[in-house]
Amino acid sequence: MTHKPGIVITGASGRMGQMLIKTVLDSDKATLVGAVERGGHDWVGRDVGEAMGGVPLGVTVTDDALEAFSKAQAVIDFTAPEATLEFAALAAQARAVHVIGTTGMTDEQIAQLAPAARHAVIVRAGNMSLGVNLLVQLTKKVAAALDEDFDIEVIEAHHHHKVDAPSGTALMLGEAAAEGRGVKLADVSDRGRDGITGARKRGDIGFTAIRGGDIVGEHDVLFAGAGERIVLRHMATDRALFARGALKAALWGQDKSPGEYDMIDVLGL
């Protein structure tokens, strides 16, 4: 019988946490060995299956992340930036693959992952879906093919619970467009237009964020020229998409050397 990697899910009660637990349970390639929530959360100490409203699974939700990680081969983490930094240090200590879906991390926070990546595999992406990662590559290609006569705008829409903007995916797409153009996103990024903004600056990459209802995640990259527009679009209709990608990353990382990777590496795009 082949060994199935043991997976711990952090932020177990969250929208993605619960989706990830279901995805691991449905998989014949991995086993759920832990579920983590923060201290004081009312799920701590309960069976995770029962907490989710189903049958007992024999996995008790814990707030002791290190103890849970030390029994696992991978940690899948869709939580919040401060929590993810703590989990990175603990996953490295346990030598577990750390799959990070958390968005809204600052450049400084991302840089703080480097010490952990010296000891363990980290796979981090603002979007774990095949479609978006393909869109990233297409965006780079189209941006490289067109000059600054085409204005680039990234437009994203998400549910009303989302706390960060622009979305992690929008930033990935903006980075790809900037890379295609051979510029740094930080030098051309235009975020949060309001009031008398002045005319659009040639070469800028603009971002717009829509928040409403239960939109899972939609992203357009618009290339607007004189007399024509090109739109590259991805629409997610089911969070299971992200969870499947994250599990794929956790399995992919099992035989890799310590370091930082992304979904382009995992998917071989």
Ligand X SMILES: O=C(O)C1=N[C@H](C(=O)O)C[C@H](O)C1
Ligand Y SMILES: NC(=O)C1=CN([C@@H]2O[C@H](COP(=O)(O)OP(=O)(O)OC[C@H]3O[C@@H](n4cnc5c(N)ncnc54)[C@H](OP(=O)(O)O)[C@@H]3O)[C@@H](O)[C@H]2O)C=CC1
The footprint of ligand X (CB under 6 A) covers: 103, 126-127, 158, 162, 167-169, 217, 236
For residues 53 and 59, is the Cβ–Cβ distance under 8 A? no
Of residues 16, 51, 61, 94, which one binds ligand Y by CB under 6 A? 16
Closest CA to 53 of 24, 13, 109: 13
C-alpha 228/C-alpha 222 separation (Å) is 11
Site residues (CB under 6 A) for ligand Y, limited to 202-261: 242
Would you call 158 a catalytic residue per the annotation? yes
158, 219, 234, 248: which one is catalytic?
158
Binding of residue 14 to ligand Y (CB under 6 A): yes
Give start and end residues of each alpha helix (H) in 7-102.
Answer: 15-26, 48-51, 65-69, 81-93
Binding of residue 157 to ligand Y (CB under 6 A): no
Q: Give the interface segment with ligand Y, choosing from 52-60, 77-85, 140-148, 180-188 (CB under 6 A).
A: 77-85
Neighbours of 208 (CB within 10 A): 18
C-alpha 261/C-alpha 196 separation (Å) is 41
C-alpha 82/C-alpha 98 separation (Å) is 15
For residues 189 and 205, is the Cβ–Cβ distance under 8 A? yes
Binding of residue 166 to ligand Y (CB under 6 A): no
Neighbours of 23 (CB within 10 A): 24
Tokens 């659009």 correspond to 200
C-alpha 239/C-alpha 119 separation (Å) is 30
Binding of residue 89 to ligand Y (CB under 6 A): no
The CB-of-153 to ligand X minimum distance in angstroms stands at 16
Q: From the list ligand Y, ligand X, none, pick the one residue 261 interacts with, judged by a Cβ distance below 5 to 8 Å according to partner type.
A: none
C-alpha 41/C-alpha 26 separation (Å) is 26
| Nearest residue (CB) to ligand X, 5 versus 11 | 11
Of residues 13, 27, 73, 208, which one binds ligand Y by CB under 6 A? 13
Q: From the list ligand Y, ligand X, none, pick the one residue 158 interacts with, judged by a Cβ distance below 5 to 8 Å according to partner type.
A: ligand X
Size, binding site for ligand Y by CB under 6 A? 23
The CB-of-190 to ligand Y minimum distance in angstroms stands at 22
In the 8-state DSSP scheme, what is residue 96? -
Helix axes 240-252, 15-26, angle to 10 degrees: 60
Residue 38, annotated ligand binder? Answer: yes
Which residue number places its CB atom closest to ligand Y?
Answer: 14
Q: From the list ligand X, ligand Y, none, pick the one residue 43 interacts with, judged by a Cβ distance below 5 to 8 Å according to partner type.
A: none
Q: From the list ligand X, ligand Y, none, pick the one residue 48 interacts with, judged by a Cβ distance below 5 to 8 Å according to partner type.
A: none
For residues 185 and 203, is the Cβ–Cβ distance under 8 A? no
Catalytically annotated residues: 158, 162
Per the annotation, binding residues are 11-16, 37-38, 101-103, 125-128, 159, 168-169
Q: Which residues bind ligand Y (CB under 6 A)?
A: 11, 13-17, 38, 41, 78-80, 82-83, 101-104, 125-128, 168, 242
Per the annotation, binding residues for NADP(+) are 38
